[in-house]
Amino acid sequence: MCGIIGYVGSRDCVQIIQSGLSKLAYRGYDSAGIAVCHEGDIDLRRAHGKLENLVARLALEPMRGHTGIGHTRWATHGRPSESNAHPHRYGRFAIVHNGIIENFLELRQELIDRGHTFASETDTEIVVHLLAEYYSPERGFAAAMHDALRRVRGSYAIVAICADFPDEIIAARQQSPLLLALGEGENFAASDIAAVLAHSRQFIFLEDGDIARITPSSIEITDISGKPVTRAPKSIEWDISAAEKQGYPHYMLKEIFEQPQKITDTFRGRILEEEGLVNLDEQIAAMHIEQSKRLQIVACGTSYHAGLLGKYVIESLARIPVDVDVASEFRYRNPIIGPDDCFIAISQSGETADTYACLKIARERGAKILSICNVMDSTIPRASDATFYTRADPEIGVASTKAFTTQLASLLLLAIHCARAKNTITKDRAKSLLASLRSVPTHMESILAHSDQVRAAAQKLLRANSFLYLGRNIHYPIALEGALKLKEISYIHAEAYPSGEMKHGPIALIDDRLPVIVIAPKNSTYEKTLSNLQEVKARGGRLISIVTEGDDMLTRVSEYAFAIPDCDELIQPFFSVLYLQLLAYHIADLLGNDVDQPRNLAKSVTVE
């Protein structure tokens, strides 16, 4: 996720902002920049690449000022480059922004028609032009921000400066984190506590719709209409390491808890619920994936499990045949793929070597290429006809969590789009599914509130030597993912099977020492799964179940039972996998393992 810091006070702000940006570098970024108010104007320095490049430029072209803003950018709209780096400056203003302006294309055209010239490919630049459009010195800086943001749809954390108001910064939040830090004769704005913890322990956490006017001695917060809002300061006693993790003991746990927000980001601007449609990027829509005779999904590891689930939902909804292959197998088996097929590469990093090699084979044989990826302008997206970006933000923990669930969300949106284009589902069915998808983040938050209960179960299970995971139909890929998570970070052997395959071998392993994780919510295969549960119980297996809320029968026969909402079958995996992520995390943590950097594993596998 991009990083923001702003400062207003009596000290020279450049070193403060530069230091704050270095504290945000753990998030991942592709460019950085600083803008300051200086002698009646705004001075700006930006650099593509690492923060060291910006530091080197500042050494050659120094800046001074007492009010300024800084940013580390992780590309969304527009490739990584200096021209797309933040801050963006226009007229008397400069701004930094995290989030996505959904209506930026229509606003951009409107502003071009009014004579504005744009210098970047970003959605962010729209806002600084709107500020210039609505500004008058008499009404002031804050009034222009209110007017500009009334035109904007989407998510934002914005911090802005104005050359005419050199002792003032304006900060605004809508569905993207932003906080204020209070000092003596100085104040700060930041996207993350880590950026400013060296200077303050008193923080105000802005909420959606807040707009703050910040001077060295005061903070005034209003809503979008200008009505005053009160936000009480909170004292934070974290150390710097904890601040980078926002108080979580590990990045992995932080990223598990980020999933409701990241899924919201994946959906943003893509769901047209009233029309029962999915709004895809023009490049994706132009591919007409629904006209393909076959989809070929290729991926590795966790992304492969997402692809398996994608097969279920695409075939179920859009009735398009889907094959799913592990990339390291696909590339060596002389695969059958051609111009009538669409090749879908799934990769969190966009740099996975085996997946990229498969993409090149598909390209040579004339297939259309779509990638589902988290890192903009990485190798696989650059080699694709179009890319569905998951918007999960940088994932630091090696064991993938939020990247997986945002891949699931992306595949479901793709399935609904193809189904509507082919008329294989009704508008009402699509509307119902999209409404269910919108509710996913809220339900995930409710499940995350039970993390301590999962930890209590983990305490009783962590001495087991092996685990068996069972799931049917859409939950089989989730069983695979749960077993992989446990193996990756706890170093305990785990095996996943389709529930119906248990009696074809794995049943021989079941005794009173073997925990068996059964994903058994009420759905089309519920009764079949019940039979498998009875087989486990009859052999003394330790039964841990994921059940639908209110399923008292399964709860009674299970050593531990974790409830998910009663919801559409295609939505259930978002909730069942959440429990499996938490279980793996807590077992590994209780064992004292290095959760974020498990042995022998790398985050991005860029070699065969």
Q: Report the pLDDT averaged over residues 302-329.
A: 96
**Across 428-442, 485-499, 518-532, least confident range:** 518-532
Residues with active-site annotation:
2, 603
**What is the reported pLDDT for 313?**
97
**Mean of per-residue pLDDT scores for the chain:** 91
**What is the reported pLDDT for 410?**
97
The rounded distance, in Å, linking the Cα atoms of 96 and 84 is 11
Higher pLDDT, 237 or 466: 466
Q: How confident is the model at residue 604 (pLDDT cuts 50, 70, 90)?
A: low
The rounded distance, in Å, linking the Cα atoms of 353 and 373 is 14
Which pair of structure tokens corresponds to residue 488?
A: 């990756």
The rounded distance, in Å, linking the Cα atoms of 80 and 49 is 8
* Helix boundaries (H) for 234-365: 240-244, 251-257, 259-267, 282-287, 301-318, 327-330, 353-364
**What is the reported pLDDT for 606?**
43
Total residue count of the chain as it appears in this document: 608
**What is the reported pLDDT for 608?**
52
Strand order across the beta sheet in which 31-38 lies: 41-48, 31-38, 67-73, 3-8, 187-190, 179-182, 202-205, 234-235
Q: Around Cβ 77, how many Cβ atoms within 10 Å?
A: 18
Q: pLDDT digits over 206-229, tens only?
A: 988 999 999 999 999 999 999 999
Q: Verify cis geometry, omega within 30 degrees of 0, for the bond prior to 260.
A: no
Q: Report the pLDDT averaged over residues 79-103.
A: 93
**What is the reported pLDDT for 607?**
44
Highest-pLDDT range among 26-30, 466-470, 541-545: 466-470
Amino acid at 417: H
Q: Report the pLDDT averaged over residues 471-489.
A: 95
**pLDDT above 90: percentage of residues in the chain:** 74
DSSP of 180-235, one letter per residue? Answer: EEE-SS-EEEESSGGGTTTT-SEEEE--TT-EEEE-SS-EEEE-TTS-B-----EE
Q: How confident is the model at residue 460 (pLDDT cuts 50, 70, 90)?
A: very high
Burial of 117 (0-12, 13-18, 19+ CB in 10 A): exposed
**What is the reported pLDDT for 27?**
66
Burial of 555 (0-12, 13-18, 19+ CB in 10 A): middle
**What is the reported pLDDT for 1?**
54
Q: Report the pLDDT averaged over residues 528-548.
A: 79
Q: How confident is the model at residue 299 (pLDDT cuts 50, 70, 90)?
A: very high
User: Residue for token digits 């690492």?
Assistant: 50
Chain-centroid distance of CA 575 in Å reads 16
**Across 82-86, 493-497, 502-506, 543-547, least confident range:** 502-506
Domains with residue ranges and CATH for the chain? 3-244 (3.60.20.10), 254-444 (3.40.50.10490), 450-590 (3.40.50.10490)
**What is the reported pLDDT for 522?**
87
DSSP state of 154: B
User: What separation in angstroms does the CA of 17 have from each of 21, 31, 63, 505, 540?
Assistant: 6, 15, 12, 61, 61
Chain-centroid distance of CA 526 in Å reads 31
Asked whether the beta carbons of 447 and 573 are under 8 A apart, the reply is: no
Asked whether the beta carbons of 95 and 160 are under 8 A apart, the reply is: yes
Q: pLDDT digits over 110-136, tens only?
A: 999 999 999 999 999 999 999 999 999
User: Residue for token digits 């669930």?
Assistant: 405
At how many degrees (to 10) do helices 427-448 and 402-422 cross? 170
Higher pLDDT, 518 or 26: 518
Higher pLDDT, 34 or 510: 34
* Helix boundaries (H) for 384-475: 402-422, 427-448, 451-461
Q: Report the pLDDT averaged over residues 553-562.
A: 87
Q: pLDDT digits over 330-377, tens only?
A: 988 889 999 999 999 999 988 888 999 999 999 999 999 999 998 876
**What is the reported pLDDT for 586?**
97
Asked whether the beta carbons of 362 and 343 are under 8 A apart, the reply is: yes
Asked whether the beta carbons of 306 and 346 are under 8 A apart, the reply is: yes
Q: pLDDT digits over 592-602, tens only?
A: 999 988 887 75
Q: pLDDT digits over 139-178, tens only?
A: 999 999 999 999 999 889 999 999 999 999 999 999 788 9
Which residues contact residue 10 at a Cβ distance below 8 angstroms, ignoring those fewer than 6 apart? 66, 185, 186, 216
Asked whether the beta carbons of 403 and 260 are under 8 A apart, the reply is: no
Q: How confident is the model at residue 603 (pLDDT cuts 50, 70, 90)?
A: low
| Predicted model pTM | 0.78
The rounded distance, in Å, linking the Cα atoms of 470 and 485 is 14
